[in-house]
Structure 1
């Protein structure tokens, strides 16, 4: 089979965390482009709502095991050599940006520049309130957090006095290996499109159908051109790939990376990765 014009990543959300290391190692050997993990800080018992349109209740139970994203990615970095390592998505507004910048720079440094930091404004009001933060100002807080992080990752000395954060003049080392560090913006609204166009390596829509994507991608292009950007924006979508017709539909819609989960449960994950690689990754190693 000829090489598909798509990058394929795997999403670990439906695999028991005990198997994440083994799955990442196998994905690395088989030629998958990236491995992505879910992220939350805390899910209160009274959590309501959903990131998915049409869903009335939170799909996340309060007792779901939650691991620290940067610690996990550092662990996966040590177990892999090539595959990129991502968050889908990291709730950047829930932390002080210095802590986000430090964790992300650490993972990128230790992995040799393989971090894909997917970030979002988040949707779970009770998570923000449990951490003593104002959910209704999260957009401005996210924008300021991104600004502070990007400056810490690139400038020799940073001083910042904003709406939410104040930093005295400070140095920040080491810098990420990637310059700029890859930011993938999660979300579907105007603010997410603006961030993707201006500061994002890529965009990760959450509630777009394939038919809806071209219009939003065109809007990102308009915003990017207005900002003087000349580099393309990667488009990452979670979905299923069963045959060449699926591949063609993703490509026609403007998708550049598909995050797949070719298994029904954790025990089937490794075999599912091998089957997918045999069909869609022509250079897959026998593993």
Structure 2
């Protein structure tokens, strides 16, 4: 689908995180080869982005549900950048409050430079206390730290070789970083989360908003609040509004895909997704049900070739 036409669609990569909330059983046996195949398919079938999320370390008390498999987003997206040409590379989300913004800027500016300007920096506050404590980061004040970190990153991921920032926690000037990002005037920052604080952060500071599993009937109210807060803050630039759709299976499934899955012919799937566009959503994240990497690739092809063209305006 051409950039800017209708409702754009992206996906969280399989394999790179194995939370029991969404990972398919086959992903536990997969690795780099499957990641490469999926990234190349996303490039081929018109997906707007592929996404990778971040956890540095998972405490034992949460490992059963979350697993400890969380690939590093910079390394993973950098690896896949060399195998793709068009698809955007999204951190969904990077917990940027865990480290100094200059360290984060160095990593992601390099990734954007190497990928030819395809990075979207998705950021979130994080939720695992032990992870913050192990890295010496402030868990209790993580929202406030994230607000400043986003502002500092917007300065550090622009065109200036010697970016400047002075805030409550961080300050830098006369410190050069090259290579600069390829994206001009800077790398876009999308804010993840659906709490009141996250929506305000996206409205005031973000170039885009990545809600975290809001049900459909809650989205119109959240979007209205986002737009009101953005107008009150005097931010004129539009905010790219996202959504995470229910799981999808294109065609008639011959196995139990789950009762909440949107399945059926391409027209039915597209009609369901177009409801998001009517709310003001401009990019939707889809998760395609599958029993194997081969089936996922088949589903991506069916989605890109048969559903994607029906999502335009």
Where in structure 2 are the equivalents of 1:194-205 lying within 5 Å?
Answer: 194-205=200-211
**Counterpart check, 1:224 vs 2:250:** no
Relative to structure 1, the CA distance from residue 39 to residue 265 in structure 2 (aligned partners, 3 Å threshold; closer, same or farther) is: farther
Supply the distance in 2 between the matched residues of 1:150 and 1:6 (Cα, whole angstroms): 26
- State TM-score, norm by structure 2: 0.79
More contact order relative to length (CA 8 Å, sep ≥ 6) = 1
Supply the distance in 2 between the matched residues of 1:42 and 1:194 (Cα, whole angstroms): 28
Q: Secondary structure, in 3 states, of the residue corresponding to 2:89?
A: strand
Please say if residues 53 and 72 of structure 2, whose CA atoms lie closer than 8 Å, have aligned partners that are also in contact: no
Equivalent residue for 2:258? none
1:166 is displaced (CA, Å) by 4.1
**Counterpart check, 1:174 vs 2:201:** no
Equivalent residue for 1:245? 271
Supply the distance in 2 between the matched residues of 1:160 and 1:259 (Cα, whole angstroms): 33
1:41 is displaced (CA, Å) by 0.8
Equivalent residue for 2:307? 280
Supply the distance in 1 between the matched residues of 2:172 and 2:188 (Cα, whole angstroms): 24
**Counterpart check, 1:111 vs 2:115:** yes
Runs of 4+ aligned structure 1 residues displaced above 4 Å come to: none
Equivalent residue for 1:90? 94
Supply the distance in 2 between the matched residues of 1:37 and 1:74 (Cα, whole angstroms): 11
Equivalent residue for 2:20? none
Please say if residues 153 and 172 of structure 1, whose CA atoms lie closer than 8 Å, have aligned partners that are also in contact: no
Segment drifting more, 142-151 vs 239-248:
239-248
1:247 is displaced (CA, Å) by 2.0
Unmatched 5+ residue regions in structure 1? 49-57
1:113 is displaced (CA, Å) by 0.9
Paired residue total: 270
Unmatched 5+ residue regions in structure 2? 15-22, 249-262, 264-268
Relative to structure 1, the CA distance from residue 199 to residue 174 in structure 2 (aligned partners, 3 Å threshold; closer, same or farther) is: farther
